[in-house]
Amino acid sequence: MPDQRPSIRIACASGFSGDRTDGAAPVVAELAAGGGGTLIFETLAERTLALAQLSRDADPERGYEPLLDDLVSPVLGDCLAHDISIVSNFGAANPPAAARRIAAIASEQNLPAPRIAIVTGDALNNPEQREMLHAQVGIDVAPEAIVSATAYLGAREIAEALTQGAQVVVAGRVADPALTVGPAMAHFGWSWNDWPRLGRATMAGHMLECGTQVTGGYFAVPGLKDVPDLDRTGFPIVTLDADGGFEIGKPAGTGGRVDCAIAKEQLLYEVHDPAAYLTPDVIADISQARIEQVGVDRVRVAGISGHARPDTLKVNICYRGGWLAEAEISYAGHQAESRARLAGEIVQRRIGAALKLRIDLVGSLSVFGDDAGRMAASHHASEARDIRLRVAAAHEDRHVAERVLREVTALYCCGPAGGGGVRTSIRQRLNMVSTTIDRAAVRCAWHFLDEAHA
Amino acid sequence: MNDVPLYRLAHGRTGDKGNTSNLSVIAWRPDLYELLVEQVTEARVAQWFEARRPSRVTRYLLPRLHAMNIVIEGVLDGGVNDALNLDAHGKALSFWLLDLPIRVPQQWIATLPDIADAHARPAAFTRS
């Protein structure tokens, strides 16, 4: 007999650090009208956490999502008033500071002090952990070049905090679907080895975690795949039932669309083997998934299963890499591409073997091309009349990389006719390597902001 | 039989992890799926992306979604660590694949989705 417990509604109002910040109000209004739910914000791409760590290194009270205030301030009062818990990884490299900031926002708005929980243990900073990772990765990265090493935690700490009454849960690195699996586990109390239900909740989280990518964002091709009102796309709301089946919708009156084609693109987004989508809590299996339209802007996803979770946790290690130099100049009018190509050849000859250059002809051939220029070599100059030449190279030594900037700038006088609009930039790369770590070596935990903890 | 670009039979999105891309190919209609299975093969995809020297192409079929997931390893010039491409994530790569020519019975062509205003198509660099 199917489980009869009432379903839970979970909405996502951010799909990455830098996403729109005005998506929360409409989903909160919809959740409030339905008697509550959970609001999640996903703000951590692979490198975001390392950038946050650099920010924390510079200021011990920073290192959390820079747009935290913009995300939380407009909706905190309504969430607390309408039994909507907030769960997010916006703690980034400094969850305690993010929690303190949210407490301060509540105080500034004269709201009752929320119960804020902090998830810890994702940062692998102690010497034994670092040694273990170093032995495992086998790459030549100097310890001092490492900016951050973090494990992807699962949903258990989030679920426990919510069960104990947390109204806001602030995490750093957790697997993106854990933001959804945590509230689902707190709500339904499934067993932690109920792999099929964990698999379904995980994929509900997967559908939510990129925000509007499941409600019409990142889909439109004018004339072929049109989507209405992308300037005010609604963020997604999932309704998850006690067996883990779920429907996806969006707030009334918002832009975008929810349909099978869009949902299928998001279901497969960043998936490799559909029968084995690895997360800390379960290996989800979407090989038999199906999607059907069940209403206007509403689809149902079924057929998902799951298998026993992996023994290890995924770890991302970010470290300082070489210097990336980029410089651009535009050529327009007759023979625009030929002039841009000539300019690229001039730069290449002057720099010679000192740097491996990538040459882009933006407006004719750029992002499709390969770094080695094989595709560009097989393609004749087009008739394009407005081309932007981009020259890029990377080098360990900043001064060597800077030659790209100088040689492209010098094209103003020394290059082909009519070049203009030079822009140059140089920045240090943040490189990343992924590995795994034994669960036993990671000390995941959680505590309330107002509690002392070891 | 005539060739039409893959985007008239399917749509899709690119995802990336490290130096690997995954490209979904989703049939616009269930009846088009078999044609995709026949023609969007691992070997053909590897050849289509040859300039990027992929090390391996694996195709996973999802018949209940009338879709396939194509995983291309070594296609991102080293990925975000090493690539010099403006689009180091390879976000655009699904649009490269969606130009793949697919052989279709003549009588089907009028039934396939197409860009509504074909005259609005910009002249583009396409594979020779």
Using a CB-CB distance cutoff of 8 angstroms, which residues of chain B are in contact with residue A355?
none
User: How does B15-33 read in b/e, with b if 16+ C-beta sit within 10 Å?
Assistant: bbbbbbbbbbbbbbeeebb
pLDDT of residue A2: 59
| Cβ–Cβ gap A393/B128 under 8 Å | no
pLDDT of residue B128: 40
pLDDT of residue B125: 46
Considering only CB atoms, A432 lies closest to which of B13, B26, B81, namely B81
Alpha helices in A301-420 (DSSP H): 336-351, 374-377, 398-409, 411-414
Helix (H) / strand (E) containing A86? strand A84-88
Say whether residue B92 is in contact with chain A using an 8 A CB cutoff: yes
Domain extents for chain A?
A: 8-127+150-310, 319-434
pLDDT of residue A295: 98
pLDDT of residue A139: 66
CATH superfamily for A319-434 is TT1725-like (3.30.70.1120)
- Please give the C-alpha separations between residue B20 and each of A285, B59, B88, in angstroms, as whole numbers: 20, 13, 11
| Cβ–Cβ gap B62/A368 under 8 Å | no
The most confident of A445-454, B22-31, B108-117, by mean pLDDT: B22-31
Q: Flag residues of chain A having pLDDT under 70.
A: 1-3, 139, 452-454
Alpha helices in B10-108 (DSSP H): 33-39, 42-48, 93-97
Say whether residue B12 is in contact with chain A using an 8 A CB cutoff: yes
pLDDT of residue B116: 84
Using a CB-CB distance cutoff of 8 angstroms, which residues of chain B are in contact with residue A270?
15-17, 22
Residue B82 has pLDDT above 90, yes or no: no
B126 pLDDT tier (thresholds 50, 70, 90) = very low
Q: What percent of chain A has pLDDT over 90?
A: 92
Considering only CB atoms, A265 lies closest to which of B13, B120, B123, namely B13
Map tokens 């004749």 to a residue.
Answer: A380
Considering only CB atoms, A291 lies closest to which of B65, B115, B117, namely B65
B30 pLDDT tier (thresholds 50, 70, 90) = very high
**Nearest CA-CA partner of B68 in A214, A177, A272:** A272
Distance CA A246, CA A207 (A): 10
> Side by side, which strands form the sheet with A168-170?
A290-295, A298-302, A246-249, A237-240, A8-12, A37-41, A84-88, A168-170, A116-120, A445-448
Q: What are phi and psi of B105, to 5 degrees?
A: -55, 135
What's the pLDDT tens digit per position in A95-149?
Answer: 999 999 999 999 999 999 999 999 999 999 999 999 888 888 876 778 888 999 9
Q: What angle do CA A29, A35, A37 make, to 5 degrees?
A: 75
pLDDT of residue A382: 86
pTM above 0.90, yes or no: yes
pLDDT of residue B120: 52
Say whether residue B15 is in contact with chain A using an 8 A CB cutoff: yes
Q: What share of chain A is helix, strand, coil (3-state, %, to 5)?
A: 35, 25, 40
Map tokens 């679907």 to a residue.
Answer: A177
Using a CB-CB distance cutoff of 8 angstroms, which residues of chain A are in contact with residue B22?
268-272
pLDDT of residue A3: 65
Say whether residue A352 is in contact with chain B using an 8 A CB cutoff: no
DSSP one-letter code for A17: T
Helix (H) / strand (E) containing B68? strand B67-73
Using a CB-CB distance cutoff of 8 angstroms, which residues of chain A are in contact with residue B120?
222-223
Contact between residue A435 and residue A441 where contact means Cβ atoms under 8 Å apart: no
Radius of gyration of chain A (CA): 25
- How close A124 comes to chain B (CA, Å)? 21
Map tokens 């979407």 to a residue.
Answer: A286
Interface of A with B in 263-322 (CB under 8 A): 264-275, 286-291, 303, 321
Cα A142 off chain centre by: 27
Q: Which two tokens stand for residue A295?
A: 């209403």
